[in-house]
Amino acid sequence: MEVNQPTEPHIAILPSPGMGHIIPLFQLAKRLVTHHRLRVTFLVITTADPAPAAQNNLLRSDAVPSGLRVVDLPAVDVSDLLAGVPPGLTPLCVMVEHSLRRHLRPVLLGLDGVTAVVIDLFCTQAFEICGELSIPVYSFFTGSTGLLTFSLYLPTLDRETEGEFVDLPEPVQVPGCRPVRTEDLLDQVRVRKSDEYKWFFLHVSRLYKAAGIFANTWKDLEPVPLLALKENPFFLNIPTPPVHPIGPVVKEEEPYTESDKEVLTWLDKQKPDSVLFVALGSGGTLSTKQLTELAFGLELSQQCFILVARTPNDATAMGTFYSAGGREDDPIAYLPEGFVKRTEGVGLVVKSWAPQVAVLRHASTGGFLSHCGWNSTLESVLHGVPMITWPLYAEQRMNATQLATEAGLAAKPTVEPWKEVVGREEIERVVRAVMEGKEGKVIRRRAKELRDSARVALDSGGSSCDSLARVVKAWKLN
């Protein structure tokens, strides 16, 4: 009699659109295949034709391991629903809603026995669809654990608060956590009658349905919110799904273009810890005036720098959210006249996109002026690089304050970049402080401590490694 041999679990992973969501979930997919020998199907919600260059470079490279299959969900046309809607969470959620309602069920049924589905925060329609198919759903939280605790608390805060949260006389006190300044509250909760708030509230209010929540962090980076989730009576009584800290889950390798190789060759010629890397994430753009002040500030600082430059956008800070990696106009056309020539040899201007992981890993990189997105934050920490905070949108203000005042990993300009234009003199000051001042030395020491801690957490027997292994063991037993 033939005995059926057990097969490895088959996990489907579903991110919402945007590189900030795709990158960490794809890295998790690779880790499940290469470290735990699982079969993984990575589902991609199609938003553009052709797909953004950076997305293609990540998902279609030769480095994708066998056992990891990438499947595109068929495109849906929601242009009539999004006419006149500005960039933000609303268009993303509308696209996801229509894509999953139409395509997720048949795609899952067409796969070979799915053990579990892992989604990010903005794909919670999967709870209902997978529930009908008796497939457990796990949430991968792509933001900080500080944001996770706030998100789990939000339904209670919404129920108990009148008026706008930003008008509260005191910071928001998330149970067991450090207070959140009202000015740091993420964009999506600043106007409660807005569509942005309605979508965000909808998704966080479903988090309790998850079979577990993967947190992209580890104890030494975020001890306070992790302890609150584990011990605070509020989170124990919601109830909160089991939280599995498995971070940092970040991009480890990336294919290089010819222009990427030129960047790394330039870095090879610089002194250790001498270069400030200036990059504002996959979607960030500056206004014309702010980009001009940033350029002059870098020039005045007399520090070596790599500036990832994009065509300025005076209407939105999310000008490239869905087109990451696309080549844009020549920076000479929008940077101050003569800037590129005057800073030649000291600075390097890169159009649109740079190999961020390789730059942060490089010995010559000594600082990172960042929008403080959580992926970029974790990449900076993993490579021991001190930061200058430059938050633009979403929850980046919360991250910036956490990095500067709690984790000791960053310096903040005295002017909030999201409030007003930061002048060239202030940019010169904060750049010098991090790259050659006493403040920078303290931050650099702390960054290297957490770098070592992160590596221990990820190594065999480390806390993050063991946390993920326990979930994989449960999948295999089921």
Q: Output the pLDDT for position 2.
A: 41
Question: What is the spatial distance between Cα 356 and Cα 369, in angstroms, rounded to a whole number?
Answer: 12
Q: Please tell me which residue in 120, 184, 187, 260 is annotated as part of the active site.
A: 120
pLDDT one-digit tens code per residue, 39-51:
999 999 988 767 7
> What percent of the chain stands above pLDDT 90?
81
Task: Note the pLDDT tens digit of each residue in 51-86.
Answer: 777 788 888 887 788 999 999 999 999 999 999 898
- Residue 52 has what pLDDT? 78
Q: For residue 452, indicate whether it is catalytic.
A: no
What mean pLDDT comes out for the span 189-203?
A: 97
- Alpha helices (H) in 176-277, listed in sequence order: 195-204, 223-231, 233-237, 258-268
**Banded pLDDT at 24 (limits 50, 70, 90):** very high
User: Which residues have CB under 8 Å from 223's CB, separation 6+?
Assistant: none
Burial of 272 (0-12, 13-18, 19+ CB in 10 A): exposed
| Residue 7 phi, psi dihedral angles, 5° rounding | -105, 160
Q: In this structure, what token pair is assigned to residue 158? A: 């919404």
pTM: 0.94
Q: Which whole number is the average pLDDT over 336-358?
A: 93
Quick one: average pLDDT of 255-284?
92
Q: Give catalytic status of residue 21 as yes or no.
A: yes
For 392-411, write each residue's pLDDT tens digit.
988 999 999 999 999 999 99
Say yes or no to pLDDT of 97 above 50.
yes
